[in-house]
A = this chain, B = another copy of it.
Amino acid sequence: MFQIESLGIPKVKSPLQLSTVRGDHIFNYVKEDDKLVYDLSLDTYNKCLTNKEEPLCMEKAGPRQHIYFEPGKTTAAIVTCGGLCPGINNVIRGIVMALHYFYGVPRILGIPYGYEGLNPAKGHGFVELTPEKVKDIHQFGGTFLGSSRGAQDVSVMVDTLVDNRIDILFTIGGDGTLKGANAIGEEIEKRGLDISVVGIPKTIDNDIDIIDKSFGFETAFDVASAILRDAHNEASGAHNGMSIIKLMGRDSGFIAAAATLAMPVVNFALIPEMDFDLYGENGFFEQLKKRLEAKRHAVIVVAEGAGQHLFDRKKVKTDASGNIKHEDIGVYLKEKIGEYFKDIFPMTIKYIDPSYIIRSAPANSGDSVLCNQLAYQAVHGAMSGKTKFVVGKVNNKYVYLPISAVTQKRKKVDLESEFWFSVLQSTGQPFLM
């Protein structure tokens, strides 16, 4: 069981006027024992039946009949951390609207520039958030609150929460941010405080574990796929023309794979999860040569974290968030392909690196719906006194999960999944190179 922690027993009657019976055309409060099975395979099911054990379950997201915080006296705060991702503003807007209109929470603070904003020494101050201020921000990419990378002293951040009478902290960020949120939650617990900490997982790479997909991911491959269409124009516009497009994906190839599937003009997709050789009879370059000889152009998508096994790994660097800084596989491939083919036949290579263009785009409609629903569910969970939890979609249903459950490892493309198989079917590239 993915068990969510709670600040205490919810005793306040929810101001939402919902129902508890089916048939009255009014949404029902979600009950604490509404659980959803995690693993859908009949095998697992049967194993549980045999062993007489309960299957792994998740808590259904939604408004509870009794909540923990007295809405009229509650202060909430929102912070956005890490790199940009489409939909951040939609989530901010959704949280503000839900707190204000559904629950009547009177005071909502925006924390500027990520966790830095919880460190008074940085001098960023707060922004008072109201429906009027956020009503149009969903139409813009970026983050209305600003962001920053890297950690701050947990104790200082909790002091700030206390000093500003903040009851609920909504954190929008990736793996590092969520771990930070958990640490804040643990410090709160240690001090015996009544502050809820909530995470809305934000990773354009889609690499948060367990959940179906994270917000912004769909927009990312939507924007990317138009770029692939154009990259194909570049490739086919020249004799033996090649386009190399480096897409985001530090440790996982979800964007590269999904964009490839969405715009089936790609001939090779290279992702961090796969091993591949450049040289040799079955190597990438020989495959590429065959493709060029057959069609006179080729489109190559490479995730930024792919092919790191090709570099000397002794000199590893990290960024302010502690993420490993990768060698530039795109530039490397461009050089090596150029070297490889220069004595074989004349060719041209166009190298395209659109990362900032993708991550700063406004959310598309699918993501907008997702962001709105994540924001609403996060608010319902927080108001009911749950803490150290994230909201996410699993098996196409909204659930609450402990932060700790989704940060144990990063999700990766399963090379034996139907998803990756679809990609290979689309590109025509072999399983192994």
Chain A residues close to B by CB (< 8 Å): 19, 22, 24-28, 33-37, 40-42, 45, 48-49, 54-55, 57, 61-62, 84, 93, 97-98, 101-102, 112-113, 116, 124, 136, 138-143, 146-148, 212, 218, 221-222, 225, 227, 229-234, 236-239, 241, 243, 258-259, 261-264, 274-275, 350-354, 356-357, 359-361, 364-366, 368-369, 372-373, 376, 395-398, 415-418, 420-422, 424-426, 428, 431-432
Contact = CB atoms under 8 A, between A and B. Distances in A.
Q: Which of A55, A112, A416 has the most CB of B within 10 A?
A: A416
A143 B84 CA distance: 30
A212 B426 contact: no
Given A54-B42, A365-B263, A142 B395 contact: no
Given A237-B146, A238-B148, A418-B27, A101 B428 contact: yes
Given A258-B369, A365-B263, A395 B395 contact: yes
Contacts of A22: 416
22 contacts: A25-B275, A27-B418, A27-B420, A27-B431, A40-B395, A45-B55, A49-B49, A97-B264, A101-B425, A136-B140, A139-B229, A141-B230, A221-B369, A222-B366, A230-B360, A231-B356, A237-B360, A259-B365, A261-B373, A263-B368, A395-B395, A396-B396
A264 B49 contact: no
Nearest to A62: B418
Nearest to A212: B396
Given A41-B35, A139-B229, A425 B376 contact: yes
Contact of A84 (B112, B237, B259): B237
A416 B26 CA distance: 5
Contacts of A112: 239
Nearest to A424: B27
B274 A25 contact: yes
B212 A431 contact: no
A283 to B, nearest CB: 16
Contact of A431 (B26, B93, B148): B26
A225 B372 CA distance: 14
Contacts of A352: 356-357
Contacts of A146: 236-239, 241
B37 A41 contact: yes
A234 B142 contact: yes
B116 A239 contact: yes
A121 to B, nearest CB: 13
Given A139-B139, A376-B422, A425-B98, A431 B25 contact: yes
A199 B216 CA distance: 32
Nearest to A213: B396
Given A264-B138, A356-B350, A369-B261, A230 B416 contact: no
Nearest to A22: B416
Q: Which of A55, A116, A239, A369 has the most CB of B within 10 A?
A: A369
Q: Which of A24, A227, A229, A424 has the most CB of B within 10 A?
A: A229
A261 B372 contact: yes
Given A231-B356, A372-B261, A372-B426, A143 B26 contact: no
A354 B354 CA distance: 7
A277 B29 CA distance: 26
Contact of A237 (B138, B147, B229, B354): B147
A227 B42 CA distance: 44
Q: Which 7 A-B pairs have the closest CB atoms?
A: A142-B233, A230-B360, A35-B42, A222-B365, A262-B365, A27-B421, A233-B360
